[in-house]
């Protein structure tokens, strides 16, 4: 571990190239090391042509500053750690990708830590990140849910929770506005003339499920409509549950719903498949709207599925921007919910001109 020869065979002379030092730059530019340092770090006063000469010399000899050495000076490692407990799944990935893009533009590299749901493993990850002297932490979660606080043992180290929430009001938590997103779906269906809008969704232990239900009820109330008995069903996040719930809603009732707002796209797709089986033709007979805007489901559904998009990209960018602000000394806190948007396709009947049946 302590021996350079493990990494590079001794005969390998080419390491000399990337290991050029600031001394080499100074010599080539014909300036002092202090001047070269000023130019390379964009600090202190320096004539423009001197600065240009140094930068050119650095370029010519392919000088790469050693971040490790820099970090020790600056007390900044230009690294950030991302902790996920969902093995970087479908929701985390677009967030992390946008975050990484945002931070990369500021020269910051991202450590990816998959802590799964094991608190001990998570703590070991946090310890490892602290040993790497990360400048900040981002914590994501499986389904925008409440989770335990990450206590990094370094007070003042910026931590951003994204698609995750903790109870501490001093923490910054960035979340999608599930309630508002559900409202968008219902308002759209109401505008299209639908009056009996049922809501089939996932397990109630998820905060997102409870918030979407709330949004559904509020939007119905605002439109002067009521949620009828049996029009709300909570179950699983699966196509199978979508089919099952659609069957029980449509087969046994005299007055079936004319619209379904589903808790996610898999449930919505299952419902679409099942509806066809017993003679209902979406979107004419029943309009269907999903949640998540997951391309795999929305594109393959017949008709293509209208869905609420949580704008995970925007969440990731905002997390990156917030972390940069906190690293620059600003204090940010509170649970901040970013707007969802509705992506309209054919399953809600919006594409059909005057084709909406009023019952």
Site for its own copies in 124-183 (CB under 8 A): 124-125, 127-133, 135, 153-157
User: How near is the Cβ of 15 to its own copies at its closest, in Å?
Assistant: 7
Q: Does position 322 bind its own copies by CB under 8 A?
A: no
Given the complex with its own copies, which of 14 and 354 has the nearer CB atom? 14
Question: Which of 103, 125, 97 has the alpha carbon at shortest distance from 113?
Answer: 125
Given the complex with its own copies, which of 44 and 334 has the nearer CB atom? 44
| The two structure tokens encoding residue 285 | 């007979």
Rounded distance between C-alpha atoms, residue 17 and residue 8, angstroms: 13
Rounded distance between C-alpha atoms, residue 295 and residue 293, angstroms: 6
| The two structure tokens encoding residue 79 | 């690294």
- Options 65-73, 165-173, 192-200, 281-289: segment touching its own copies (CB under 8 A): 65-73
From candidates 89, 119, 339, 355, binder to its own copies by CB under 8 A: 89
User: How near is the Cβ of 100 to its own copies at its closest, in Å?
Assistant: 5
Question: Which of 228, 287, 232, 296 has the alpha carbon at shortest distance from 266?
Answer: 296
Q: Does position 97 bind its own copies by CB under 8 A?
A: yes
User: How near is the Cβ of 158 to its own copies at its closest, in Å?
Assistant: 8
Given the complex with its own copies, which of 156 and 224 has the nearer CB atom? 156
Is residue 74 helix, strand or coil? Answer: helix
From candidates 47, 52, 109, 146, binder to its own copies by CB under 8 A: 109
- Options 207-215, 218-226, 252-260, 265-273: segment touching its own copies (CB under 8 A): 265-273
User: How near is the Cβ of 296 to its own copies at its closest, in Å?
Assistant: 7
Q: Does position 332 bind its own copies by CB under 8 A?
A: no
For residue 353, give every residue at least 6 positions away whose Cβ sits within 8 Å of its Cβ, in sequence order, or none: none
Given the complex with its own copies, which of 12 and 30 has the nearer CB atom? 12
Given the complex with its own copies, which of 64 and 359 has the nearer CB atom? 64
Given the complex with its own copies, which of 241 and 250 has the nearer CB atom? 241
Rounded distance between C-alpha atoms, residue 258 and residue 284, angstroms: 9
How many residues in the shown chain lie near its own copies by CB under 8 A?
Answer: 78
Q: Does position 64 bind its own copies by CB under 8 A?
A: yes
Q: Does position 266 bind its own copies by CB under 8 A?
A: yes
Rounded distance between C-alpha atoms, residue 131 and residue 310, angstroms: 35
Q: Does position 279 bind its own copies by CB under 8 A?
A: no
Question: Which of 214, 104, 79, 98 has the alpha carbon at shortest distance from 157?
Answer: 79
Rounded distance between C-alpha atoms, residue 194 and residue 350, angstroms: 11
- Options 109-117, 168-176, 251-259, 344-352: segment touching its own copies (CB under 8 A): 109-117
Distances (CA, A) of 217 to 175, 257, 266, 353: 21, 15, 22, 28
User: How near is the Cβ of 75 to its own copies at its closest, in Å?
Assistant: 4
Q: Does position 5 bind its own copies by CB under 8 A?
A: yes
Contact between residue 160 and residue 174 where contact means Cβ atoms under 8 Å apart: yes
Q: Does position 18 bind its own copies by CB under 8 A?
A: yes
Q: Give phi and psi for 63, each to the nearest 5.
A: -70, 130
User: How near is the Cβ of 139 to its own copies at its closest, in Å?
Assistant: 15
- DSSP label at residue 254: S
**Interaxial angle between packed helices 33-41 and 48-60, expressed in degrees from 0 to 180 and rounded to the nearest 10:** 90
Given the complex with its own copies, which of 205 and 331 has the nearer CB atom? 331
| The two structure tokens encoding residue 336 | 């901040």
Binding mask 191-230 for its own copies (x = CB under 8 A): ----------------------------------------
């Amino acid at each position: 571990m302590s021996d350079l020869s493990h990494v590079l065979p001794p005969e390998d002379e080419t390491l000399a190239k990337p290991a050029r030092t600031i001394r080499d730059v100074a010599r080539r530019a014909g300036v002092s090391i202090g001047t070269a340092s000023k130019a390379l770090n964009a600090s202190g006063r320096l004539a423009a042509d001197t600065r240009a000469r140094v930068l050119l010399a650095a370029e010519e000899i392919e000088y790469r500053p050693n971040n490790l050495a820099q970090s020790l000076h600056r007390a900044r490692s230009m690294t950030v750690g991302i902790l996920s407990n969902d093995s970087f799944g479908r929701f985390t990935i677009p967030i992390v990708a946008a975050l990484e893009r945002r931070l990369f533009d500021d020269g910051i590299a991202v450590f990816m830590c998959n802590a799964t749901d094991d608190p001990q493993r998570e703590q070991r990850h946090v310890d490892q990140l602290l040993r790497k002297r990360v400048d900040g932490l981002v914590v994501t979660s499986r389904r925008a849910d409440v989770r335990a606080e990450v206590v990094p043992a370094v007070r003042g180290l910026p931590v951003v929770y994204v698609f995750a929430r903790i109870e501490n009001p001093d923490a910054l938590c960035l979340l999608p506005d599930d309630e508002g997103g559900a409202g968008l779906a219902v308002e759209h269906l109401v505008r299209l003339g639908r009056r009996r809008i049922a809501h089939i969704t996932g397990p109630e232990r998820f905060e997102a499920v409870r918030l979407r239900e709330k949004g559904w009820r509020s939007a119905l109330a605002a439109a002067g409509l009521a949620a009828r008995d049996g029009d709300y069903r909570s179950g699983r996040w699966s196509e199978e549950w979508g089919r099952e719930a659609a069957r029980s809603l449509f087969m046994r009732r005299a007055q079936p719903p004319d619209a379904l707002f589903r808790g996610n796209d898999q449930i919505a797709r299952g419902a679409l498949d099942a509806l066809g089986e017993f003679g209902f033709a979406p979107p004419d007979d029943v309009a269907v709207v999903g949640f998540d805007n997951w391309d795999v489901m929305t594109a393959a559904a017949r008709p293509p599925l209208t869905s609420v998009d949580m704008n995970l990209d925007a969440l990731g960018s905002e997390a990156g921007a917030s972390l940069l602000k906190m690293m620059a000394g600003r204090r940010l806190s509170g649970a901040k919910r970013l707007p969802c948007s509705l992506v309209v396709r054919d399953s809600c009947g919006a594409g059909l001109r005057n084709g909406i049946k009023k019952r």
